[in-house]
Amino acid sequence: MSKKVALGIDFGSSSVRVLTLDIESGKVLNSVEQSYSGGVDGVYVSDSDSLLARQSPADYLKSLETALEKSVAENKKAGIEMSSVAGIGIDATGSTPIPVTKDMVPLASTDKFKDNLNAYSWMWKDHISHKEAEAITAKAGEMRQQYLGKIGGAYSSEWYWAKLWHCLNVDKEVFDAAYTWVEFSDFVPAVLTGVKDAADLKRNVCAAGHKALYSDEWGGYPDNEFLSALDPGLVKVAETLPKEVLSIEHNAGGLCKEWADKFGMKEGIPIAMGVMDAHAGGIGSGIKEGSLVKIIGTSTCDLVLGDLNMKNTNILGVAGVVKESVLPGYYGIEAGQSAVGDILNWYITNVLDNNKSHKELTDKAREQKPGQSGLLALDWNNGNRNVLTDPMLTGLILGQTLQTKDFEIYRALIEATAFGAMRIIEELENQGVVINEIVNCGGITHKNDLFMQIYADVINKPMKIAAIDETVALGSALMGAHAAYKADGVEISYNELQAKSCSVLEKVYEPNPEAVEVYRKLYENYKKLHDEFGVKGTKLELYGVMKELIEIKNQIS
């Protein structure tokens, strides 16, 4: 019999990945990927509202089938039978709620709603519900101050209740047709475990805690009085939600016969409770106490673990502080930036029309010194997730002269995302969160040395890089392995599993003192713009900003 393996299934923004892990050695055996087929890169957008971003649940499952077929083929080549799969972990983007019927059919798969994007999956980056988010923040401020303490002070348009409420406001037919709304990271485990009644749905603490205001401290999800104050219609959904939600210590269930047979796996092998993709990335990057893991992709998620005894669990300017949302035994503190890779891709695709590549621009930008372009940008092309939690903000770039070059703008955009990252770290540290090391993961951290050096210089800390590209799928596979051990009656900690599978590259990006000094000055100006455009009531004098940038530039050239 071949060795026991775990599968990590990672549903990203535009594709699903399946990673096979050798459970005993902790080695990654292979990893395959399948892009979603619908919309633009898997995303359905609207010409009339740039804030909308939807996906098709059927597309998720079809893509998973294709990915699993690829996985079967890869494993076969290596002499591994799918019957040796002993556990499965699943992560998905979030908050990405999907409206489903009582018998677990996504509304988007029904004839009635197949052409209605409101019946689709409401992708994490859909910001259409910003007015509802503001209203939730306001109402919580009046009635349930404690809610705000756990979500950094403001509810986001990216999150569960804002999205449901927006649907109720704009498309009551869809809202009424849905029995409940299930997070993407609970939907797939439910399908794979064969849940046929949405009343039986298990929900994971990661999505529930970070996106849907679930907390032990107030006995679960928001109470009906609060939801009624928003809109009585929401109570109907609340009544479908479980009293308790589960961490990755627990299983969603066993693999159902249908999916097991289709790919030659054993029926009933354990499937761990899901998590959101970034959190899986934290696990796969070897997150431990004191390490900040930055999952850098189209957007960025920052994860830090907090001691369960920590005094202040109300941290301002973060996306959430949730018990056991990452690893059992710790608070998971999540923050993030709503666009990072997306901004660079936007510049290349929408502005430069793909006439230049990331590599070409990076090669030119690498020759420049910090401050040499005279440019300064804000990283708000998709709003600001943290520390402002405001989707109604937009990009800004200043300092252009008639000599400004394309690659200088590219570099300024990278720098803007680094300043945004720094703003979050500063905010965390100011509130007593301990950060001893920073581990970065995501494709760009392996591909773009300039990007990582700028981060080291702006943040003024060494930047470590998770050794493998697929830390998110690895995190899910570790969840699958953990479930497999448990099924065998073996208690093993996540830290032990991580020790076998997670490592950082030898190359660590160290801050360069000269660059640090220049970026410190630029960052002060970034903060001025940040507060002036992003913080209500701010009235700074910005007269000197352009002049200081010219001065810095002239000192350098």
- For its own copies, the closer of residues 51 and 435 by Cβ is 51
- Minimum distance between the CB of residue 546 and its own copies, rounded to whole angstroms? 5
Both tokens of 403, joined, read 């000599």
Using rule CB under 8 A, residue 555 touches its own copies: no
Binders of its own copies among residues 500 to 519 (CB under 8 A) are: none
Distance CA 12, CA 76 (A): 25
Query: Considering only 13-21, 165-173, 471-479, 535-543, which stretch makes contact with its own copies by CB under 8 A?
Result: 535-543
Using CB under 8 A, pick the residue from 316, 438, 549, 552 that binds its own copies: 549
Distance CA 102, CA 181 (A): 10
Burial environment of residue 268 by CB neighbours within 10 A (0 to 12, 13 to 18, 19 or more): middle
Both tokens of 471, joined, read 């830390």
Helix (H) or strand (E) holding 254: strand 251-254
Both tokens of 365, joined, read 């930008």
Using CB under 8 A, pick the residue from 135, 143, 235, 396 that binds its own copies: 396
- Minimum distance between the CB of residue 213 and its own copies, rounded to whole angstroms? 25
Using rule CB under 8 A, residue 135 touches its own copies: no
Using rule CB under 8 A, residue 491 touches its own copies: no
Using rule CB under 8 A, residue 399 touches its own copies: yes
Written as one string, the DSSP assignment of 416-473 is HHHHHHHHHHHHHHHTT----EEEEESHHHHH-HHHHHHHHHHHTS-BEEBSSS-HHH
Using CB under 8 A, pick the residue from 72, 136, 260, 409 that binds its own copies: 409
Distance CA 340, CA 413 (A): 9
- Minimum distance between the CB of residue 317 and its own copies, rounded to whole angstroms? 17
Distance CA 238, CA 40 (A): 33
Using rule CB under 8 A, residue 404 touches its own copies: yes
- Minimum distance between the CB of residue 423 and its own copies, rounded to whole angstroms? 17
- Minimum distance between the CB of residue 271 and its own copies, rounded to whole angstroms? 34
Binders of its own copies among residues 339 to 358 (CB under 8 A) are: 339, 342-343, 346, 350-353, 355-356
Using rule CB under 8 A, residue 393 touches its own copies: yes
- For its own copies, the closer of residues 40 and 490 by Cβ is 40
- The site string for its own copies over 36-65 (x = CB under 8 A, - otherwise) reads ---------x-xxxx---------------
- Minimum distance between the CB of residue 536 and its own copies, rounded to whole angstroms? 5
For strand 291-296 and strand 437-441, is the pairing parallel, antiparallel, or unpaired?
parallel
Helix (H) or strand (E) holding 291: strand 291-296
- For its own copies, the closer of residues 513 and 537 by Cβ is 537
Using rule CB under 8 A, residue 309 touches its own copies: no
In this structure, the dihedral spanned by the alpha carbons of residues 387, 133, 201 and 321, taken in order and rounded to 10 degrees, is: 30
- For its own copies, the closer of residues 1 and 40 by Cβ is 40
- Minimum distance between the CB of residue 446 and its own copies, rounded to whole angstroms? 23
Using rule CB under 8 A, residue 336 touches its own copies: no
Using rule CB under 8 A, residue 535 touches its own copies: yes
Using rule CB under 8 A, residue 170 touches its own copies: no
- For its own copies, the closer of residues 228 and 401 by Cβ is 401
- Minimum distance between the CB of residue 47 and its own copies, rounded to whole angstroms? 7
Site size for its own copies, by CB under 8 A?
Answer: 55
Using rule CB under 8 A, residue 132 touches its own copies: no
- For its own copies, the closer of residues 146 and 554 by Cβ is 554
For strand 54-55 and strand 5-11, is the pairing parallel, antiparallel, or unpaired?
unpaired
With contact defined as beta carbons under 8 Å apart, do 37 and 22 qualify?
Answer: no
Using rule CB under 8 A, residue 133 touches its own copies: no
Give the Å distances, CA to CA, from 460 to 287, 436, 509, 511: 20, 13, 10, 5
- For its own copies, the closer of residues 4 and 127 by Cβ is 127
CA angle 504, 506, 508 (to 5 degrees): 85
Distance CA 83, CA 80 (A): 8
Q: Which residue has the tokens 């001691």?
A: 307
- For its own copies, the closer of residues 237 and 393 by Cβ is 393
Q: Which residues of 501-540 are buried (b: 16+ CB within 10 A; e: fewer)?
A: bbebeeeebebeeebbebbeebbebbbbbbeebbeeeeee
Give the Å distances, CA to CA, from 450 to 156, 283, 371, 378, 549: 32, 26, 15, 19, 21
Distance CA 108, CA 13 (A): 18
- Minimum distance between the CB of residue 282 and its own copies, rounded to whole angstroms? 25
- Minimum distance between the CB of residue 314 and its own copies, rounded to whole angstroms? 25
Pinpoint the alpha helices (H) of 286-376: 341-346, 358-366
Sign of torsion over alpha carbons 280, 43, 136, 204: negative
Strand order in the sheet with 330-337: 320-323, 330-337, 300-307, 291-296, 437-441, 464-465
Query: Considering only 69-77, 87-95, 499-507, 534-542, which stretch makes contact with its own copies by CB under 8 A?
Result: 534-542
- For its own copies, the closer of residues 197 and 363 by Cβ is 363
Using CB under 8 A, pick the residue from 395, 446, 469, 520 that binds its own copies: 395
- Minimum distance between the CB of residue 528 and its own copies, rounded to whole angstroms? 11
Interface residue list for its own copies (CB under 8 A)? 45, 47-50, 339, 342-343, 346, 350-353, 355-356, 374, 378, 380-382, 392-406, 409, 532-543, 545-547, 549-550, 554, 557
